[in-house]
Structure formats: C-alpha cells, structure tokens
Chains A and B, each alone.
Chain A
Amino acid sequence: MATSDKLIQVKNLKKHYNEGVIKAIDDVTVDINRGDVMVVIGPSGSGKSTFLRSLNLLEVPDSGSIIFEGVDITQPKGPDGKKLNLDVHRQKMGMVFQHFNLFPHKTILQNMTLAPMKVKGLPQAEAEAKALELLGRVGLADRANAYPIQLSGGQKQRVAIVRALAMEPDVMLFDEPTSALDPEMVGEVLDVMKELAAAGMTMVVVTHEMGFAREVGNRVLFMADGKLLEEGSPEDIFEHPQNPRLKDFLSKVLR
C-alpha cells in the first residue's frame, strides 16, 4: 500500500512551553505517506504526545506548518481565502487516547453515532447500522447498549478505535493506546490495530510496544528532547541504531 503519496507534511514544527524553557517540539520536519504505519518512540517527556496532538491541532504549534491533504491547517485561512474550518479536517483524522475518553453518559452505540449524525448529518438508522457493523468487527456488537463503565479497559479501547473509524478517517492517530491497560488486555487492542494496518489504514502510533513497532510499523521515528533524532525502517532503528541516545534508549527498553 505504501506509496510516495504524501498525506501529512510536517514542516519545521515548534512548540515551546514556559516561555521557551521547555522545547516540547524542536524543529521537526517529516512526511507521512498514505498507507504508512509510523511508530513514534522515545523516552518520557521527549515530545511524542505533543507531536501527535499537533497533527490534528489539539495542540497549536508556535511555528511551522502541518499540511494535511494539501491544506496547511495551521493557517487561519484556507486555500479558498475563507476562514479555515478546522473541524472539517479534524474529522478525517481519527484519534485514540491513552485513557479512551469514551463519553460516560452515552451508550456504546450513542458514543459511535454522535459524530456521524451531528457532524456528517447521517440519518440515525444509517449511523447505527454502520456502528453495529464496526462493533461486530471488534467482537463487541452485543455490547452496543451498554455504558462505557460496564466495559473492561480493553473493550473500551476497542470501542474508542471503532468510534473514530465511524467517521471514515484518512489517518488514525494513537497516543499510547495500550499504556493504561492491564497486561492481559494489551493483545486484543494490538490485534485490532494490526488488522487496521493490514487493511491499509495510514497510522501514526506513539507506543512503548517495541514488538508492535517491529512487526507492524513500516517506519519508526525516534524522538528525544523534542527533536526527531533518527528515522528509519524498523530494521534500521532496532538492528542498526546510529544515534547514541537511541542506542541508550533501546538498551533500556529491550532488556
């Protein structure tokens, strides 16, 4: 699936906190191609989350640009000269969070149909049929009328993934999707992500699961201190690391 078709171009991205004392992202430039499964690794506080959250502008960068499907979404105005409607672009980028962030006052089905109905204007019946089909794919169709509180962590995260998929995004962003899970539930979530990758979805995944990075990723980014220090295929990164920071990091996580 991987072609050279650029889906997201990140150019000279910078994000500082505390008047520049903390450089959460320090001049990062990278292209994400359609069909890529890009895994972002690095030590805690290296800026992985900030980078990922900048892609859909949950975090507004201080400078640099994010060009998504040809449109620079960091600009106040779109290519047509009118005010840029960020929501239009955001709905094409699904996001999965460490803590699931399901809506607790809504059933699983309502969680999944809210955005398709309110944002895309899908009729309820259609939105529900689609939601049930997606839930079936992750083995949770029978939980459609349950509330999030009634599900296990692994089930919640699978719902969160298909909730994002219900908007038919062009790319899926994952921020440590398995870090809040009990170990026995990590596998079921990773399996869903693997299937998604196999189906050709473009994915950017921040994770500490090095096995997943190796097996599923086609590109790996290593970040430290807000900088993109090394980039390559899983083989490059894990078998032939160059940067001493990366070697040090790997020696700690791959014991």
Chain B
Amino acid sequence: MLTSKGFEAAFSYWQLFLQGVVCTVSLSALTVVLGFILALLLAVCRMGRARLLRILAAAYVELFRATPMIVQVFIIYYVVFNGVKVLPGVKLFGFIRFDRFFPAVVALALNSGAYLSEIIRSGIQSVDGGQTEAARSLGLNAVQTMRFVVLPQAIKNILPAIANEFVTIIKESAICYTIGVQDIMSAVNAVKGATYRTGEALIIATVLYFCLTYPTSKIIEHFERKMRRGDIR
C-alpha cells in the first residue's frame, strides 16, 4: 500500500510533476482567455438582433453543454487536427509538445466558451432594465450604455461564477493526458509505469491540483469581497 519508500520513489520523478504543473497552468490560463473572448462573442450573438446568429449561438452552447468533454477533446484532436499530423512539432518551454497542447487548448476553450457565455448573458440580464432606459434617455448610445452602465454592474454580479469556471477548467483539463498532453495526470501515468507506485503518485497529483484550485478560488473571493465593499462604502 502507501509507504514512505513509495513516496520517495514517486518523488524522484519530481521534475515530471513540475512539468505537469507548468503544463496544467498554461493550459488552463490560455483556455480561460480564449474561452472568455469566445464567450463574449457568443453572448453578443445570442442577445443581438440577427435571428440567424441568435440561433447558431444558442445551438453551439447547447451542443457543447450536452456532450461529454472527452468526446469533444477526441473530436478536436483526432478529427479536426487529424491526430497531430497537421501541426508543427514545436516544444513550448522546451518540453510541452505543441501538437498535443494546441488541440487541447482549442477543445477546452470551445467547451468553456459555451459555459462562460451563459454566465455572461445571465450577468447582463441580471442588470435592471431601468438602467438601460435611464442611460438611453440621457442620450447615451447602445455601446456607451453597455460599456459604462450595464457591463460594470454585470461583471460584478458574475465574478464568482467566472472564478468557479476557472477552477473547473483546471480540474477538467486533467482529461487532456488522454491525447498525450504532459500535464499533471500524465506525470502520474509516467510514474505509475516506471515505479508501479500508483497510489503515491495519485496522492501527489491530488495535492498539486488542490494547491492550484484552492488559492485561485480564495484570491477571487478576496477581490469579490473588495468589490462588494465598494458597493456599500
């Protein structure tokens, strides 16, 4: 079972775990940025006046929310990028294989874009319609109204949900080891193969994931509290 010898053996591969952490963090951070941009576009389409765009955006969101993540990752990797053959074999930070990493980022971003767009949409809709009416009756145009009146209030409302999504991405990115991304889970796999210390490797991975997600949610909670204090002042 779990022994200190076993942990020693697993720890001797600390470089793999470190690489795994770097990989998981870059993967999640890139996903959030790209996912957020996609989400803004989707939210604008869904609330816009063009019927076709509204329908397409809604269909996209429903599709990505109603299918398993692993299926999406496999489709992006094996079908869209044709199992790496179309991508250059560059290595990021000297070790992250771009031909595995990039499809993973695309798949995760497409998925979280769907979730984030719903969060953004609900945030915008949570702002009282009277705010828009007041702004428009003062002569502000639609874009100014969104920028100066609606969005600042919406973002405050949805900050916790966005933080939640970030934590979710860190956790769900673990699936990407199945297409050969060298993240924390892939380190576990390598250590398992080399030392047969599966339990120890998994516990190390658990601690690492916790150390990534817990501070993330705490940091955002802190900002949230600060913003809420600004409300009352």
Whole-angstrom CA separation of A94 from B135 in the bound complex = 11
Contact between chains at A115 and B138 (CB < 8 Å):
yes
Which interface residue of B130, B134, B140, B144 has the most chain A CB atoms within 10 A?
B134
Assess whether B139 is in contact with A119, with CB atoms less than 8 Å apart. Answer: yes
Q: Chain B nearest CB: distance from A4 CB in Å?
A: 27
Is B131 touching A119 in the complex (CB atoms < 8 A)?
no
A105 CB-CB contact with B under 8 Å: yes
What is the chain A residue whose CB lies nearest that of B129? A101
**Considering only CB atoms, which chain B residue lies closest to A160 in the complex?**
B134
Docked complex Cα distance between A97 and B137 (Å): 10
Complexed CA–CA distance, A164 and B135 (Å): 10
Which partner residue on chain A sits nearest B152 by CB separation? Answer: A105
Query: Which residues does chain A contribute within 8 Å of B128, judged by CB atoms?
Result: 101
Q: Fill in one digit per residue for B148-167: 1 if any A CB lies within 8 Å of its CB, else 0.
A: 11001100100000000000
Q: What's the least CB distance linking B130 to chain A, in Å? A: 4
What distance in Å separates the Cβ of B140 from its nearest Cβ neighbour in chain A?
6
Instruction: Give the residues in chain B near A160, CB-CB below 8 Å.
Output: 134
Q: Tell me whether B232 is interfacial, beta carbon within 8 Å.
A: yes
Query: Which chain B residues border A213 with CB–CB below 8 Å?
Result: none
Contact between chains at A87 and B139 (CB < 8 Å): yes
Inside 8 A of B152's CB, which chain A residues have their CB?
Answer: 105
Flag whether A114 is at the interface (Cβ < 8 A). yes
- Which residues of chain B come closer than 8 Å to A94, judged between CB atoms? 137-138
Q: Does B136 contact A (CB under 8 A)?
A: yes
* Distance to closest chain A CB from B157 (angstroms): 11
Q: How many chain B residues have a CB neighbour from A under 8 Å? A: 21
User: Is there contact, CB below 8 Å, between B139 and A90?
Assistant: yes
Residues of B within 8 A of A122 (CB): none
**Is A118 located at the chain interface by the 8 A CB criterion?**
yes
Within 8 A of B (CB), among A17-65: 56, 58
Q: Quick check: is B233 within 8 A (CB to CB) of the other chain?
A: yes
User: B133 near A: Cβ within 8 Å?
Assistant: yes
B141 on the A face (CB < 8 A):
yes
**Once the chains bind, are A58 and B133 in contact (CB under 8 Å)?**
yes
B185 to chain A, nearest CB (A): 42
CB-defined contacts of B231 to chain A, threshold 8 Å? 104-105, 147, 149
Asked if A163 and B131 make an inter-chain contact with CB atoms under 8 angstroms apart, the answer reads no
Question: For residue B140, which residues in chain A have a CB less than 8 angstroms away from its CB?
Answer: 87, 114-115, 118-119
Contact B139 A167 (CB under 8 A): yes
Report which of B130, B136, B141, B149 forms a contact with A99, defined as CB distance below 8 A.
B130
Contact A101 B134 (CB under 8 A): yes
Contact A101 B133 (CB under 8 A): yes
Residues of A within 8 A of B (CB): 56, 58, 87-88, 90-95, 97, 99, 101-105, 114-115, 118-119, 147, 149-150, 160, 163-164, 167, 173
Pick 21 A–B contacts, CB within 8 A, sort by A.
Answer: A58-B133, A58-B136, A91-B139, A94-B138, A97-B133, A99-B130, A102-B134, A103-B135, A103-B149, A104-B153, A104-B231, A105-B156, A105-B231, A114-B140, A114-B148, A115-B135, A118-B148, A119-B139, A149-B231, A149-B232, A164-B137
Contacts from B to A (Cβ < 8 Å): 128, 130-131, 133-141, 144, 148-149, 152-153, 156, 231-233
